[in-house]
Amino acid sequence: MNLIDEDFNAKKEVDQTKKITRIIIVAIILVIIAIAGIFAYMLYLQSLNLKVIVNDQQNADIANLLVFENDGTIYVPVRKIASYFSYDSYNGEYTNKSEDTSKCYVQCDGEVANLTLNSNKIYKLSLESKGNNYTYIYMDQPVKAINGELYITTEGMQKVFNTTFNYDQNSNTISIYTMPYLISRYTNTILNYGYTAISEQFENRKTAVQGMLVVTDDKYVGVINSDDGTEILECKYDNITYQEATGDFIVCSNNKYGIIGANKETKVEITYDTIRLMDYDAGLYLVSRNGKYGVIDLEGNNVIYAENDQIGIDISKFPDNDLKTGYILLDNLIPVQRNEKWGLFDKNGKQVVNFEYDSFGYIANNNREALNLLVVPNYNVIVACLNERYTLLNASGEQAFKAFVDDIYMTINGGKKSYTMIANNKRYDVEDYLDRLGVQPVNEKEEEETSTNTTTNTNNSNTTNETDQNSAVENNNQVNNEGEEREDSTEQTNNTQEVQESQES
């Protein structure tokens, strides 16, 4: 082999080596790219899986319970999620035990929360305070049923279970913190702010999920921001109680009470012996001064002057009436006692019934089947007693019939409630009797109002000629209606006389 051939072969080998090297390098690069791609894809798949963190611990079970609506609203099953927040859950209502699956309640050591299908109202009962009066707050959406179970939104979940909720869509992560966990986390932190303890009252501990803490320095009580310790209310009060419904604080100083907002605004001067929220929607507080009771609004204005012996009924005596409060009955009437006589005021402070009745409600004595009765809810009437005889008053304070009977009580058979009144040993079905008097049940009134509104809207869209024709018909109907009204009036008089005659016989 000559020199030229040797050089050619050597060059050929070098080219092959370089080619192989290039192939290897490209292969390595492709493998690296593939590995990176696979790793990125795995991260992507992992990011698609929702992560739920509860009290800094991942909880896959709760992630599987959540239902995402098309509009982004997230719903949770009330009873299934309750145990994860250390709550017990049951069907029915707390004070009216049943297996009604359209209602449920959850319970912890401090309070009970009641929920009802299609309602956005949460009724809460404090287990620390005395009495059977509920307070209530609202959710953003009503309770809904999914596959036979009751669901609420995550906003409602925060209010029912006293939790926080945050959804980071970028990381697809939900973070939830419960009130007890936050309290434990902040317990040591407040020492750095110069305070000795967080309030033990359950109502006050709810502020932890609102970014606030009710704290004490062993002598006085105040409110601080939980993140940085800045003062919201100075630590100078003898006692503070958080009002979940309004977000305000009832404060006590020198045995006098007032109301201060979280913005430091004084809403009610610190001049009363006691203050209690009566009704959030009506914006009313029950107050007392020198042993006398009155009602004020959220701005401190007098609605009913503090000159009464008692305001409100003890509803623990009427457990089967399913009442949430004894302060406002029939959604309008405030029972007030003065000089051993009872009267009624409406929510605007107008007296609609004079101080003339001995009591409100019927207390069963000898009749074994009789149950105590305060209101007949289907007809929106309240039982009033005078000289050991009873009558019924409507939401305007008027008597449903102009008579008094010997007894008016409730019975329950097979879960069905019935109402009976007795006049001179003769029994009457209360609801049937009210029907005969022309008193409409609450649901029929609502249907009639809806029908009237529909008719009104239809008439407004009619032509002028149709209006003229209708006017002629209405004039004719007016004559007929007047005759019918006279007949109805005669029938009502006869029905009332029937009871009165039974009394007199």
- Closest residue by Cα to residue 297 from 273, 268, 320, 263: 268
Residues 365-382 have pLDDT tens digits of 877 789 999 999 999 999
* Per-residue tokens: 450: 């809806």
248 phi, psi to nearest 5 deg: -95, 180
pLDDT of residue 22: 76
Given a cut of 60, is residue 170 above it in pLDDT? yes
In this prediction, residue 477 carries a pLDDT of: 36
CA distances from residue 328 to 281, 296, 317, 408, 443 in whole angstroms, order as listed: 11, 14, 16, 21, 20
How do residues 112-152 score in pLDDT, each as one tens digit? Answer: 999 999 999 999 999 998 778 999 999 999 999 999 999 99
| pLDDT of 23 | 79
Distance CA 386, CA 341 (A): 10
Higher pLDDT, 345 or 95: 345
Q: In what order do the strands lie in the sheet with 51-54?
A: 57-58, 51-54, 173-178, 163-168
**pLDDT at residue 492 greater than cutoff 70:** no
Provide mean pLDDT across the span 437-465.
Answer: 55
Mean pLDDT of 9-13: 60
Q: Give the type of residue at 489.
A: S
The residue with greater pLDDT, 281 or 474, is 281
Residue with tokens 């009237």: 452
Q: What is the mean pLDDT of the chain?
A: 86
- Cβ contact 287:274 at 8 Å: yes
Whether the CB-CB separation of 225 and 232 falls below 8 Å is answered with: yes
**What is the predicted pLDDT for the residue at 25?**
81
List, in sequence order, every residue forming a beta bridge with 75; answer none if it has no partner.
67, 153
| pLDDT at res. 476 | 34
Assessment of whether the complete model's pTM goes beyond 0.85: no
